[in-house]
Amino acid sequence: MPRGITRKATATRLISRYVKYKKFRIYRAERRRRKQQTTRAQRRRPRSFYGQSGSDSGMSVDDLAFSEPDTEPDLDYEADDEEEGGGALDRDELGEDDEGENEGADDVDSFSVDEAEILGESASTLGRKVRITLANMYAHRYQVPQEPLPRPPADLPHVLNVLKTSHPYRFRQQLRVTPYTFDRLVDKMPVEWQVAIVLYRFGRYGNGASLLDVAAWAGIGEGTVVDVTRRVITALLRQELVNEAVRFPTDGEKESAREWVEKHSCRAWRNGFYFVDGTLVPLYERPNWYGESYFDRKCNYSLNIQIISLPNLRIIDFGYGFTGSTHDATAWKETRLPKERASLLRPEEFVWADSAYPISSWVVAPYKKPLRDIRENEVFNNHVSMLRIRSEHAIGFLKGRFQSLKGLRLRIEDEAGHHFATKWVVACIVTHAFAMQCEAEEKTDDNFDDDPFLAEGLSSSSDVDVEHDNRPTGLEGSSTERNSEGKRFREQLKEALFRSKERRRARRQRGT
């Protein structure tokens, strides 16, 4: 008989005998108590109640008060009448069986459990035996023999030992970062294999992101993949790494962004080099924790993430923690930039947004219906789109590198599940921003327009501008006042754009 089954049969037999012993003790105690009550009742009642003295006829109080069963319970003990004395089972009987089956005795005796530590010296002998057996039985994970699961050869050693040095392009396709970026990450977290496993998970979605596939790729167990993922995400979210990867631009970076905006629009627009846009991270199933709040306008269950970026596609800030049903205007006002605008932006700097965001003196959005049908406003919207496309590219680059954000295979059962899903998204953003910095150092520029990850992200991007009826609240000043200031500022930018176009047209005419 297999060892696990023998152990279980032994424990079951001991528990059965222990229950019988307890039932016998309860039976004897109850019988003694009933006899004592009968004796006291006989002393109190008048003699005539029993009929004639010495007669066999009549009803006895014993018959009224307590009727003994015809047979005693089926017990295997020879207990005496003492309340605390009988019913003990010798320790030598642990492996014996009335039917002659004692094959579990060797298994039980082979366990190494300190009886005094578990039970103490006051426990009964039988109770000690039962508890010792149960403790040793549950000390093992499985009660039946387990066969080792054969695994295919792992790909992870090949990626780290061969592709990293000989084929960096294929290494980047596997782990979504260059070997240089990977070494920089490992320097901050000296756990090479664990970092590689998590980067591989970040870069997969759909069936390729299943725990079974990742475990087979890495040559480890599925539970180990989960533990490794949690550890690495915790390390990626350290404050010093987040501050290094996601930060506001320096003066030199701001000047480069101004030059790009001026080149693609006009000089009056050069201070608008910040872009904000929201993106939805779809979930592969409906969350069980407030699931309806995750339902978005595209009929998916998702998370809402706010991304603030520059023309060079670098992410400088982001907002997280919002469910898919949260409007972009509501999520935007809860982010850092609207709350700390005075300390983060200069007075002349402003942000480009889409039509879902409320306009103000420092937030400019395209015209919505019916004003957008006017010819001049349509031209203005087209030029705004030429700038704001960089925001779409920044989000596409992020999702192209870490494609798990195209369909997050995480189950949200409670608040802790929501927090972990949010941390997953934030870890992807931080790692992407850090990778962009390292790759810019490698090639001495920040031009990522020809990066294959950008093409992968844009090819399946579903973030399309949709008109929303915005009624923002919570920012300084009244809504009417903000809208009036925003409209005046937008009209000034439109007039400056047309003046610039007229000057360019005049210069071309003079040149011809």
Pick the residue with more confidence: 169 or 4? 169
Tell me: pLDDT of 484 over 80. yes
Q: How confident is the model at residue 91 (pLDDT cuts 50, 70, 90)?
A: very low
Res 381: pLDDT: 95
d(CA 310, CA 453): 18
What percentage of the chain carries pLDDT values higher than 90? 55
Query: Which of 1-5, 142-146, 390-394 bottoms out in mean pLDDT, i.e. has the lowest?
Result: 1-5
* Helix, strand, coil % in the chain, rounded to nearest 5: 55, 5, 35
Tell me: pLDDT of 306 over 90. yes
Average pLDDT of the residues in 48-55: 36
Tell me: pLDDT of 175 over 60. yes
d(CA 404, CA 452): 17
d(CA 462, CA 328): 16
Strand partners, 315: 309
Tell me: pLDDT of 232 over 70. yes
Pick the residue with more confidence: 117 or 269? 269
Q: pLDDT tens-digit profile of 203-231?
A: 998 888 899 999 999 998 899 999 999 99
| Spatial CA neighbour of 55 closest among 63, 43, 47 | 47
Average pLDDT of the residues in 263-277: 95
| Contact (Cβ atoms closer than 8 angstroms) between residue 41 and residue 61 | yes
Strand partners, 276: 308
Q: pLDDT tens-digit profile of 99-158?
A: 443 443 344 344 344 445 444 554 567 677 777 777 777 666 666 777 777 878 889 999
Query: Which of 80-94, 109-123, 351-365, 408-422 bottoms out in mean pLDDT, i.e. has the lowest?
Result: 80-94
Q: pLDDT tens-digit profile of 352-380?
A: 999 999 999 999 999 998 999 999 999 99
User: Which of 16-20, 85-89, 218-222 ranks highest by mean pLDDT?
Assistant: 218-222
Q: Residue 374 has which token pair?
A: 């006017």
E strands within 248-407? 274-282, 302-309, 315-323, 351-352, 363-364
Domain boundaries, given as residue ranges, for the chain: 3-138, 156-236, 254-470
Res 461: pLDDT: 55
d(CA 463, CA 466): 9
User: Which of 1-15, 31-45, 306-320 ranks highest by mean pLDDT?
Assistant: 306-320
Tell me: pLDDT of 253 over 90. yes
E strands within 164-237? none
**Entry pTM:** 0.69
Based on the number of CB atoms within 10 Å of its own CB, is 95 exposed (0-12), middle (13-18) or buried (19 or more)? middle
Res 40: pLDDT: 66
Query: Which of 79-83, 231-235, 248-252, 413-417 bottoms out in mean pLDDT, i.e. has the lowest?
Result: 79-83
Res 151: pLDDT: 78
Q: How confident is the model at residue 43 (pLDDT cuts 50, 70, 90)?
A: low
Based on the number of CB atoms within 10 Å of its own CB, is 155 exposed (0-12), middle (13-18) or buried (19 or more)? middle
Query: Which of 152-166, 445-459, 488-502 bottoms out in mean pLDDT, i.e. has the lowest?
Result: 445-459
38: alpha, beta or left? (left if phi > 0; alpha if psi -120 to 50): alpha
Query: Cis peptide before 370, with omega less than 30 degrees from 0?
Result: yes
Pick the residue with more confidence: 247 or 84? 247
| Contact (Cβ atoms closer than 8 angstroms) between residue 229 and residue 193 | no
Pick the residue with more confidence: 430 or 119? 430
